[in-house]
């Protein structure tokens, strides 16, 4: 089957779909109209012929079978508008005379009811007729009545009516095209407005999209505005980070440069140690800012597999802390995806599990849950825990509640900042025993 190229525009696509469907429906309606018209015309004609045959029988019974006393001729033609034939044992009457070659065989026919005769050629008479034959007795005398009508005239009338129906159908199709075109243009007008708003946004005339839009486009506009807010926040954070970094390293670099430029002074050992300490400070600050740049904010369209990443991290930490047990509690399928960048999820899980591994006595438990639009991460350990007064201060950059354990006080701060990027919540509480429980909801 050859590939059919789809129209590039929504308007073209709707026209390609709706217009052929409308034409097909009109064609089917026109065909069905022809069938129904032919059937209704035939049934109506048969009913009229039966009524006129009954009227003739009534007239003949009124005159006790004396058909010569009937006013045939112009009277019957004016009343019936049909050709007819009457046969009695004494005589046969056919009106008009030109129809005699057609009606005479029907009078002698033995079957009553509706009869059709076509293909007969006679001067001044039709070639296709529909007749109704009826026989009865009056005073013991058999009488046959035949009433007929020209089907050619009826067909001509039907053809003319059917042709006018075709003309009306074509006009309706043209009207349908106009209505579809107008409806599509009117429906897509908000897209034109949205396009103009995007152009103004690109030109810097506006900072957010506030163009009126129907409810079908409101989620799109809301997502675009949220994306703009996220980009603005990233830009502000990037500028603040660069300013902080510049301010932090400016003084140490100036001090080191001043010492190196002083050619008259030797470099004693204590001065070398101070310079090395200064350079170490600069290196730590640069490393911290580089780590912050990695989780500056969520990237649109990225997602992660939480169960798979959790299993990998638990396996790695189990090797790092072989004397402790790391357990995963989750009913999520392996192919569950969360709208979180893989690196961000690794930072969150890695820092929480590493922190719990340092402080736990024997066991660390990770729980992953999902309910409607809420995703929850819970990490708990069986360590000494944290004093209730200090729970609210956890996650502050550089804060360390115990200086004896190695670390820089950045792990929970990094987790808190990543959670904030995704507009999530983080809370600290005491676990089932005395350990620490960290709960994150995205």
One domain, residues 18 and 146: yes
One domain, residues 319 and 434: yes
Q: Which residues of the chain have pLDDT under 50?
A: 1, 74-75, 79, 295, 297, 300-301, 397-409
One domain, residues 287 and 344: no
Q: Is 187 inside a domain boundary?
A: no
List the domain range (segments joined by +) for residue 270. 218-294
For the question of whether the overall pTM of this predicted structure is more than 0.75, the answer is no
- pLDDT of 374 reads 85
One domain, residues 339 and 426: yes
- pLDDT of 123 reads 64
The CATH number that applies at residue 358 is: 3.30.565.10
One domain, residues 254 and 372: no
One domain, residues 276 and 346: no
One domain, residues 313 and 434: yes
Domain boundary among 294, 329, 361: 294
Q: Is 213 inside a domain boundary?
A: no
d(CA 266, CA 264) in angstroms, rounded, equals 7
Q: Is 174 inside a domain boundary?
A: no
One domain, residues 314 and 290: no
Q: What is the pLDDT of residues 12-30, one digit of tens each?
A: 777 777 778 878 888 888 8
Domain boundary among 266, 294, 322: 294
Q: Is 124 inside a domain boundary?
A: yes
Q: Is 4 inside a domain boundary?
A: no
Domain boundary among 264, 294, 324: 294
- pLDDT of 152 reads 76
- pLDDT of 191 reads 77
- pLDDT of 409 reads 44
One domain, residues 19 and 113: yes
Q: Is 181 inside a domain boundary?
A: no
The CATH number that applies at residue 31 is: 3.30.450
Q: Total domain count for the chain? A: 3
One domain, residues 245 and 313: no
Q: Is 207 inside a domain boundary?
A: no
- pLDDT of 259 reads 65
One domain, residues 31 and 141: yes
Q: Are 92 and 85 in contact (CB under 8 A)?
A: yes
One domain, residues 148 and 269: no
Q: Are 439 and 431 in contact (CB under 8 A)?
A: no
Q: Are 381 and 431 in contact (CB under 8 A)?
A: yes
- pLDDT of 402 reads 45
Q: Is 360 inside a domain boundary?
A: yes
């Amino acid at each position: 089957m050859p590939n059919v190229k789809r129209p590039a525009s929504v308007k073209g696509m709707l026209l390609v779909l709706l217009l052929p469907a409308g034409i097909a429906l009109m064609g089917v309606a026109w065909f069905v109209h022809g069938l129904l018209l032919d059937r209704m015309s035939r049934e109506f004609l048969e009913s009229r012929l039966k009524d006129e045959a009954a009227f003739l029988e009534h007239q003949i019974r009124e005159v006790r079978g004396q058909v010569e006393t009937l006013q045939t001729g112009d009277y019957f033609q004016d009343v019936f508008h049909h050709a007819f034939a009457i046969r009695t044992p004494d005589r046969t009457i056919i009106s008009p005379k030109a129809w005699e070659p057609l009606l005479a065989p029907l009078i002698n026919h033995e079957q009553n009811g509706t009869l059709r005769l076509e293909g007969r050629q006679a001067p001044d008479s039709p070639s296709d007729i529909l007749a109704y034959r009826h026989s009865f007795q009056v005073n013991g005398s058999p009488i046959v009545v035949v009433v007929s009508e020209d089907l050619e005239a009826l067909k001509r009338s039907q053809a003319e009516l059917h042709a006018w129906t075709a003309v009306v159908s074509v006009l309706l199709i043209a009207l349908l095209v106009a209505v579809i075109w107008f409806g599509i243009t009117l429906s897509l007008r908000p897209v034109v407005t949205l396009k103009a708003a995007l152009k103004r946004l690109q030109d810097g005339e506006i900072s957010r999209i506030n163009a009126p839009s129907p409810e079908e486009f409101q989620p799109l506009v809301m997502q675009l505005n949220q994306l703009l807010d996220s980009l603005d926040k990233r830009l502000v954070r990037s500028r603040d980070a660069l300013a902080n970094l510049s301010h932090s390293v400016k003084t140490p670099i100036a001090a080191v440069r001043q010492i190196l430029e002083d050619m008259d002074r030797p470099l004693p050992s204590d001065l070398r140690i101070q310079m090395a300490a200064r350079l170490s400070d600069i290196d730590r600050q640069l490393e911290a800012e580089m780590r912050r740049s990695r989780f500056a904010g969520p990237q649109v369209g990225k997602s992660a597999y939480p169960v798979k990443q959790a299993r990998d991290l638990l396996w790695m930490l189990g090797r790092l802390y072989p004397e402790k047990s790391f357990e995963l509690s989750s009913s999520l399928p392996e192919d569950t995806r969360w709208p979180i960048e893989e690196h961000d999820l690794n930072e969150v899980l890695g820092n929480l599990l590493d922190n719990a591994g340092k402080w736990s006595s024997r066991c660390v438990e990770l729980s992953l849950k999902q309910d409607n639009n809420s995703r929850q991460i819970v990490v708990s350990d069986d360590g000494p825990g944290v004093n209730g007064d200090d729970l609210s201060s956890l996650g502050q950059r550089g804060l360390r509640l115990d200086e004896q354990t190695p670390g820089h006080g950045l792990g929970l701060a990094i987790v808190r900042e990543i959670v904030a990027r995704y507009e999530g919540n983080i809370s600290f509480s005491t676990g089932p025993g005395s350990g620490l429980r960290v709960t994150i909801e995205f």
